[in-house]
Structure 1
């Protein structure tokens, strides 16, 4: 048996485990690259509706000031998207935007938005990604190919946002920033390949 693969000092398994967020993102993305993804318009609609989940998570974690809250916040945001779809509520983008607005109002009311530069950056992120969400969803209804490109751009740019936060070791858990950056970029590429 070749023990070089699992030797603690230089093993492949050790390197994969150290990069588990990247490995998980790639594993989740593989079916889409193997033909398991829906048509570009359907995928873009789904991803466009979920795009606000990403900046909402950053904003909420920045508001709480607790990086260890990252994964619970993300799981909660995913649950909101699933529940909004299952219960036939307004689009997940509307529900997520409403939650982001509530966090912003809370931050204004307690004065944290004025005092905390990091929170202000996340608020700007919510505004920017919110604009991309609205533009992407509106264009999907009128000019579908352009809408797909705008939604893909939103996911790609959020991947860049993640990698900047990963490099700065700021706001969210490093494991989330790595995982989210990789999956965001891979989803953007999938969307563009489906065009």
Structure 2
């Protein structure tokens, strides 16, 4: 009888999930409250609308890296990136609209609604009590992880590797936010 072991093949197949967990842990280092993670929720929705507007699922990783760059620069400048990232998402949506990308329905139309919903949660979290804001961000991230799972299973809008990465990033970060909020 052999004992189950983690093989190199299983790690290669699940690298997006592992990377999502690691990225969530890195983002959470030094987190004082969950509201600080509102830009992550905004970025998650921006990646999806960007891919829908461009009609290129493969654009997911470059758009994700772009949102990471925006969030990082904003942190260095001591500015909250939530509204900046949402502005980028809206700009991508308008670009898609100007290109006439109204089909398929699960593309730009649905991703626009998602950006508005997740974006509203992220933005509202900035203006309410810190604990309530943290719980809003955590709930938004959990909701977005369900969104990621749907897109992973249907293999639409973004590449599956990004959907899997984002699913674990969002869910892990949401749990970390709740823990920090309860302990803090």
Same fold (TM over 0.5): yes
Q: Which residue of 2 aligns with 1:131?
A: 120
Rg: which structure is higher? 1
Q: CA deviation at 1:164?
A: 0.6
Pairwise CA distance, 1:95: 1.0
1:159 matches 2:142: no
Kept after mapping to 2: 8 A contact 1:32/1:190: no
Residues in 2 aligned to 1:96 and 1:32: alpha-carbon distance in whole angstroms: 16
- 1:8 aligned residue: none
Hey, what's the Cα distance between the residues in 1 that align with 2:50 and 2:13?
27
User: Matches of 2:81 and 2:138 in 1, distance apart?
Assistant: 17
The 4+ residue runs of structure 1 with deviation greater than 6 A are none
1:173 aligns with 2:159: yes
Query: SS at 2:8's partner residue?
Result: helix
Count of residue pairs brought into register by the alignment:
178
**Does residue 143 of structure 2 align to residue 192 of structure 1?**
no
How big is each residue's C-alpha offset from its partner over 1:156-195, in whole Å with a ceiling of 9 and x where there is no partner?
1111111110011111111110011011000000111112
Task: Give the Cα–Cα distance (whole angstroms) in 2 for the partners of residues 172 and 32 of structure 1.
Answer: 22
* 8 A Cα contact 2:93 2:108, kept in partner: no
Of Structure 1 and Structure 2, the greater helix share is in 1
Cα RMSD for the two superposed structures: 2.2
Normalising by the residue count of structure 1, what TM-score does the alignment of the two structures yield?
0.82
Query: 1: CA distance between counterparts of 2:82 and 2:22?
Result: 26
Within a 5 Å distance, the mapping from 1:1-195 to structure 2 comes to 12-30=7-25, 36-39=29-32, 41=33, 44-88=34-78, 91-113=80-102, 115-117=103-105, 118-139=107-128, 143-194=129-180, 195=182
Q: TM-score, normalised by structure 2?
A: 0.86
How many Å apart are 1:26 and its aligned residue?
Answer: 2.6
